[in-house]
Amino acid sequence: MGTALVYDEEMTRYKLLWLDPDCEIERPERLTSSHEALLQSGLATRCVSIPVRQATDTEILLIHSQEYLEAVKKTPYMTLQDLQQFTQLYGAVYFHPNSYHCATLAVGAALQLVDGVLTGTVRNGIALVRPPGHHSMRSAASGFCIFNNVAIATKYAQKKYGVQRVLIVDWDIHHGQGVQYAFEDDPSVLYFSWHRYEHQKFWPELRDSDYDSVGKDKGLGFNINVPWNKVGMENSDYLAAFFHVLLPVAYEFCPDLVIVCAGFDSAVGDPEGEMCATPDIFAHLTHLLMNLAGGKLCAVLEGGYNLTSLGQSVCATVQTLLGDPAPRPADLQSPSQSALESIHCVRAAHRNFWSSFQHSPAAPPSEVSTKRVKREEKDERTQRGGATDSEDAVTWPEPQKRRPPPVRTAAVIPEDASCPDGCRRFNISQREDFSNDSTGASLTALVGKMEKNEICNGLALVSDVSTAMAAVIQHASALKQRVLVVCVGGTRIQSHMPEDGTTLTVHFNKEVLEEPRCKYYIPVHLKRGFGDVSGFTQATLGLLLPIAYQYDPGLVLLAQAPSKDRPSSSCWQQLVGLLLGLAQARVLVLLREGHEAFIGPTASSLTGTPAPSLGQVGASQAEDFEALDGLRRRLQVDWKLLRTSVQEHEDEDN
């Protein structure tokens, strides 16, 4: 199951033909240099090339009006003067005699990608296209966009393949108002967008882009806007929006297909976005979406205007789609106050629509809410004169090369058991082992190979999980690696866990355990166990992942302790899949003898197969929910990525 790359040089063959400072950043080089970056890094050859095609009129009419299509169709025959005049009808867009042709190819590229993914030719993919699409509306071009590539692709997937629910994630730094307008009354399409907003002072300066545009009629709750009211948002702000807004809703929604409006003007160095998230963050954003919809993910290029940042971001995305481990999310700070305020407001605005937010506070935190701030004249800061000089000043380190180990998944299993698909058997045989504990020896040898980047991850079937865990932890700390221990079930963890920060233990349990002993031991009480999907998602997305990302382990140890209550296989696979975003996917899973049924599903997830969907998630029992949220609130002092609002820790500085 491969990754598609849909690209054609033809889409570089149009450009701005007159002077227009607003439009000059949208250049052919955006595409050539992104494609070049994929070739240079060797990623392009690992993808399955899918040719573009022209979209038909019927396809374009899935979203656009006949009148608009007819008008655009005339542009190839216009004089320069006519083109300029036609352009003036719309905002921040230009036309060239070849624009219409390229626009049909951009739509067609998105449709080819949807075909590839929904016929099963590929698992996922990216379409590198110009012109972008998410600003264009039923009867209007806007913001460099002519036809709404992603909106058309969404309707096409629903009509041609009977796909029911589509999640559109718009991580471009502009609000895709065209996508919002296309689906705002449609509950079968969940649209999520974050965007630079600055209290409505940033283009397209729409009241509709604020957090309180939540959808209409039957589509109430299916439009989610996260307005960024300050520039300079960082990795932790983006991750917080994923953990505390997008992902809980996405899991509850349970899409059949994910389409990403993949604009990279949200990355550092971009002259439009002026944000500070690094290109590597797209590896994580991509990874976090890859266990939804059985992995069916289509990324379609939107914006991105700093060619260096754009190329790096495209590569980070594609390498993750290909299944390579994501780089470590080093040094995450607390989300900023402004970001937390936005996140708080979105959760409050959606509390009646999504059970994940039903216990969120109703009111926006304070007077300084983002809501209904009157537009004022642009202040000097936003009124940057001419071509930005700040742009050249922004620098960031080149992303580290991601070299996946030669062996993906090792299995330490009894010699008479068959090796699961895609795994390499890894056993130190009794003959070679002098310690009389061949499993322990195999495990420490395996951890050594993971450390040396020879093996990425592994699973082991052990007779005693605690002993095996102790052996692994001891060995890992000798290697000076922070270890995240995630323990599912069992009653109590032995006190051999160091509490000095070299390991962090998160222990999910059905029984009531004691309060956290220290910052590094976190018992999580899941009353109805890991079989309960809503408890699982709340605990995993809202609690475990933020803590784990902030901790940034060098190794993840996932252990299934002896317990009557076993997680459902799909929850377990989701957990494994999500944890692979940490520690460069160095995840070691310990399964207990008697739980052989988990070997296959665990191996499948470790080797990169997307986890099965959990089904549409219903409301969690309030009791469970409040207990988990209470735990989150207590822990957020130490683990700042757990924060979902500004109010809960006003007195602290940040």
To the nearest whole angstrom, how small is the minimum distance from the Cβ of residue 204 to ligand Q9C? 8
**Which H helix or E strand runs over 189?**
strand 189-196
For Zn ion, which is the closer residue by CB, 182 or 292?
182
Tokens of 93: 């867009």
Q: The tokens 């990216």 sit on which residue?
A: 126
Residue 186 binds: one of Zn ion, ligand Q9C, none (C-beta under 5 to 8 A by kind): none
Site string for ligand Q9C, 161-200 (x = CB under 6 A): -----------x-x--------------------------
To the nearest whole angstrom, how small is the minimum distance from the Cβ of residue 293 to Zn ion? 24
Separation of CA 222 from chain center:
18
> For ligand Q9C, which residue of 7, 144, 197, 243 counts as binding (CB under 6 A)?
144
Contact 243/542 with Cβ under 8 angstroms?
Answer: yes
Separation of CA 85 from chain center:
40
- Annotated active-site residue 195? The verdict is no
To the nearest whole angstrom, how small is the minimum distance from the Cβ of residue 166 to ligand Q9C? 20
Stretch that binds ligand Q9C, among 76-84, 139-147, 159-167, 513-521 (CB under 6 A): 139-147
Tokens of 37: 């970056």
What single letter denotes the amino acid at residue 604? S
To the nearest whole angstrom, how small is the minimum distance from the Cβ of residue 141 to Zn ion? 15
Q: Give Cα separations from 282 to 391, 459, 517 (angstroms).
A: 21, 28, 35
Beta bridge partners of 226: 194
Residue 135 binds: one of ligand Q9C, Zn ion, none (C-beta under 5 to 8 A by kind): ligand Q9C
To the nearest whole angstrom, how small is the minimum distance from the Cβ of residue 91 to ligand Q9C? 7
Q: What are the phi and psi torsion angles at 591 (to 5°)?
A: -110, 145
- Confirm or reject binding of residue 405 to ligand Q9C (CB under 6 A): no
- Taking the CA atoms of residue 187, residue 190, residue 192 and residue 198 in that order, the dihedral angle to the nearest 10 degrees is -10
Site string for ligand Q9C, 251-270 (x = CB under 6 A): ------------x-x-----
Residue 202 binds: one of Zn ion, ligand Q9C, none (C-beta under 5 to 8 A by kind): none
Q: List the catalytic residue out of 135, 287, 344, 475.
A: 135
To the nearest whole angstrom, how small is the minimum distance from the Cβ of residue 134 to Zn ion? 8
Site string for ligand Q9C, 466-505 (x = CB under 6 A): ----------------------------------------
Sign of CA dihedral 11, 258, 173, 37: negative
> For ligand Q9C, which residue of 7, 86, 100, 203 counts as binding (CB under 6 A)?
203
Question: Count of CB atoms within 10 A of residue 359's CB?
Answer: 16
For ligand Q9C, which is the closer residue by CB, 131 or 601?
131
Contact 113/8 with Cβ under 8 angstroms?
Answer: no
As a whole number of angstroms, the distance between CA 126 and CA 650 comes to 42
Tokens of 567: 């997680």
Residue 132 binds: one of Zn ion, ligand Q9C, none (C-beta under 5 to 8 A by kind): ligand Q9C
Residue 144 binds: one of ligand Q9C, Zn ion, none (C-beta under 5 to 8 A by kind): ligand Q9C
To the nearest whole angstrom, how small is the minimum distance from the Cβ of residue 301 to ligand Q9C? 9
For Zn ion, which is the closer residue by CB, 310 or 614?
310
Contact 563/510 with Cβ under 8 angstroms?
Answer: yes
Stretch that binds ligand Q9C, among 138-146, 424-432, 470-478, 564-572 (CB under 6 A): 138-146
Residue 246 binds: one of Zn ion, ligand Q9C, none (C-beta under 5 to 8 A by kind): none
For ligand Q9C, which is the closer residue by CB, 90 or 222?
90
Contact 643/649 with Cβ under 8 angstroms?
Answer: yes
- Confirm or reject binding of residue 143 to ligand Q9C (CB under 6 A): yes
Q: The tokens 């594609």 sit on which residue?
A: 318
To the nearest whole angstrom, how small is the minimum distance from the Cβ of residue 81 to ligand Q9C? 23
Strand (E) positions, 526-571?
A: 555-560
Residue 420 binds: one of Zn ion, ligand Q9C, none (C-beta under 5 to 8 A by kind): none
Tokens of 344: 């708080």
3-state secondary structure 600-612: HHHHHHHCCCCCC
Tokens of 460: 């082991």
DSSP symbol at 246:
I
> For the residues of 212-229, what is the DSSP string, one character each?
T----GGGTT-EEEEEE-
Q: Tell me which residues touch Zn ion (CB under 5 A).
A: 172, 174, 263, 265, 303
For ligand Q9C, which is the closer residue by CB, 383 or 436?
383
To the nearest whole angstrom, how small is the minimum distance from the Cβ of residue 103 to ligand Q9C? 13
When CB distances to Zn ion are compared, the closest residue is: 303
Q: What are the phi and psi torsion angles at 351 (to 5°)?
A: -65, -25
Contact 347/245 with Cβ under 8 angstroms?
Answer: yes
As a whole number of angstroms, the distance between CA 340 and CA 78 comes to 49
To the nearest whole angstrom, how small is the minimum distance from the Cβ of residue 492 to ligand Q9C? 53
Question: How many residues form the binding site for ligand Q9C (CB under 6 A)?
Answer: 15
Q: The tokens 């449709």 sit on which residue?
A: 111
In the chain, count of helices (H) and strands (E)? 21, 16
For ligand Q9C, which is the closer residue by CB, 172 or 252?
172
Q: Which of 239, 241, 185 is nearest to 214 (CA)?
A: 185
For ligand Q9C, which is the closer residue by CB, 35 or 507?
35
* Bond prior to 397 in cis (omega within 30° of 0): no
For ligand Q9C, which is the closer residue by CB, 116 or 131?
131
> For ligand Q9C, which residue of 116, 279, 295, 303 counts as binding (CB under 6 A)?
303
Tokens of 155: 């309707």
> For ligand Q9C, which residue of 302, 324, 451, 648 counts as binding (CB under 6 A)?
302
For Zn ion, which is the closer residue by CB, 141 or 580?
141
**Can you give the C-alpha Rg of the chain in angstroms?**
25
For ligand Q9C, which is the closer residue by CB, 311 or 405?
311
Tokens of 475: 């060995």
Q: How many residues does the chain have?
A: 654
Sign of CA dihedral 122, 152, 150, 214: negative
Q: Which of 92, 95, 54 is nearest to 72 (CA)?
A: 95
- Confirm or reject binding of residue 135 to ligand Q9C (CB under 6 A): yes
To the nearest whole angstrom, how small is the minimum distance from the Cβ of residue 271 to ligand Q9C? 10
When CB distances to ligand Q9C are compared, the closest residue is: 303
For ligand Q9C, which is the closer residue by CB, 271 or 531?
271
Residue 210 binds: one of Zn ion, ligand Q9C, none (C-beta under 5 to 8 A by kind): none
Sign of CA dihedral 234, 194, 114, 219: positive
Stretch that binds ligand Q9C, among 78-86, 97-105, 142-150, 547-555 (CB under 6 A): 142-150
Binding site for ligand Q9C (CB under 6 A): 22, 92, 132, 135, 143-145, 172, 174, 203, 263, 265, 272, 302-303
| Residues known to be catalytic | 135
